Amino acid sequence: MAAPRDTWVTPSVVHVIDDRLKTTSLCLAVAYGSSDDEPGEAGSAHLLEHLIMSTPVDGEVSFCERVERLGGRANAETGLELQLYHAQVIADDADETARLLLRAFREPHLDAATLDNERAVVLQELTAAAADPADVVQDAVLAALFPGHPLGRPVGGDPELVSAVSPDQVRTAHRALLARPAQLVVVGPRVPDCLQDLPRTEATALSAAPAAVAVTGPPAPPEVRWPKDADYCWLCFGARSPAAGSPERPAYTVLAQLLGGSSSSLLYRALRGEHGLSYAFQTWNRPYRESGAWRMLIGTSPDLAEQTVEVVRGLLAGVAADGPAPEDLDAARRQAVMSLVVDAEEPLEFARTIGDRTGAGTRSWDLDAEIATLSAVTAGQVRAAAVAVAAQLLTTVRPEGV
């Protein structure tokens, strides 16, 4: 059953034309995510994303299969606030791919049989995620950072609730999806013919952002029970950070690099070089409309977990007290810029980056401006970010002890 035509919000087209490319990358970004799931229907947005990508288009095979039969690649992802539907194909196939993407997005098959088939796949995905402590520990830290708030819910939802989602509920979610701001990013040698009639905008042009649910009250520090009998465990540290669009956000990104997985970082030197506590760790900052989440993920042995926590808190306390050394700050800024530039120089990643950074066209963003902003982050700004993170840092562990 297709969505009613009067619910469709026409996406704007943002194009990055490079006639040296032989491929065209498309990313349809929509300001709709798991935080938009209705109470009692957690997982509906993620399930809907699966249906859009996997159900037949034009009465034939799915969008994903059609793209891959052309030799291309296609995928989609649901986040807390955004969905990204993307594909990369030989440029000669861009017209057909763009048409199929919009058709699949606008008119997916949402009947009961199709829903049940894809629901089974989603439940398998949730089972796999639940068996991976590195996934579960990240859900746990978000739940602690945003108790009772949509940002604290797992993106995939609860298996029991996913099992109960009806075709009518999915159709309702689809109508809500189609009414949200959407932006179709094209990176390639030309704009596909079927998109010529859609409105074109610059990446800095803004659509109205969906209403945000205010984050109120403090985080809820969880009880930490160390898994003494396990062979390995994952620690996830988290703190609230500034929302998307805040001028304070770049400092938290640089702080994440300063205490990240690069061999130039303070965390690498301490965890791996000085103490031999871990070889798998990463740190990142993710901004949302209402707030942000600064996180650090570390894998280690349970008997080393408490020492690992002490090292992390000690590093944060040191940066909060004295700020970063000039050479460490320079390396962290360069790492933050390099991460951004590498994504910008890969066409599909650049299309996804534009869709993500602009919040599907609801926020202004420019690559050169962000590079300049990251490069200008000061030691004082990083120190202030470290003070804020250290003051509210939460720790979760999975598997848990009894």
- List, for residues 78-87, the tens digit of each pLDDT value: 999 999 999 9
pLDDT at 402: 82
Roughly how many angstroms between the first and final C-alpha of the chain, as a whole number?
48
Angle formed by the axes of helices 379-392 and 302-322, nearest 10°? 140
The answer to whether the 5-195 and 233-398 domains have the same CATH topology is yes
Confidence band, pLDDT 50/70/90 cuts, at residue 213: confident
Give the domain ranges of the chain.
5-195, 233-398
Tokens of 79: 């986040």
Indicate if the pLDDT at residue 398 is higher than 50: yes
Indicate if the pLDDT at residue 3 is higher than 50: no
pLDDT at 9: 59
pLDDT at 204: 59
Confidence band, pLDDT 50/70/90 cuts, at residue 289: very high
Mean pLDDT on 185-191: 96
pLDDT at 365: 92
Per CATH, the number for 233-398 is: 3.30.830.10
pLDDT at 2: 40
pLDDT at 205: 60
Indicate if the pLDDT at residue 12 is higher than 90: no
CA–CA dist 304, 384 (Å, integer): 29
Q: Tell me which residue of 259, 235, 375 sits closest to 317, measured CA to CA.
A: 259
Q: What is the pTM of this model?
A: 0.93
Indicate if the pLDDT at residue 263 is higher than 60: yes
Mean pLDDT on 112-135: 95
Mapping DSSP to helix (H, G, I), strand (E, B) and coil, where does residue 210 land?
Answer: coil
Q: Which residue has the higher pLDDT, 292 or 9?
A: 292
Mapping DSSP to helix (H, G, I), strand (E, B) and coil, where does residue 25 land?
Answer: strand
Virtual CA dihedral for 65, 71, 72, 77, nearest 10 degrees? 30
Indicate if the pLDDT at residue 353 is higher than 90: yes
C-alpha separations of 262 from 160, 219, 236, 267, 330 in Å: 40, 29, 18, 8, 13
pLDDT at 6: 40
Q: Are 236 and 399 in contact (CB under 8 A)?
A: no
Indicate if the pLDDT at residue 1 is higher than 60: no
Tokens of 150: 């949509």
Options 3.40.50.150, 3.30.830.10, 3.40.50.620, 3.30.70.20; CATH for 5-195 is 3.30.830.10
- Burial class from Cβ neighbours inside 10 Å (0-12, 13-18, 19+) for residue 1 reads middle
Please state the φ and ψ torsions of residue 184, each to the nearest 5 degrees.
-105, 115
Confidence band, pLDDT 50/70/90 cuts, at residue 73: very high
Indicate if the pLDDT at residue 276 is higher than 80: yes
**DSSP assignments along 332-368, one per residue:** HHHHHHHHHHHHHTSHHHHHHHHHHHTTTTTS---HH
CA–CA dist 170, 322 (Å, integer): 52
Q: Are 125 and 49 in contact (CB under 8 A)?
A: no
Give the percent of the chain with pLDDT over 70.
Answer: 96
Element (H, E) at 142: helix 133-145
Mean pLDDT on 133-150: 97
pLDDT at 4: 37
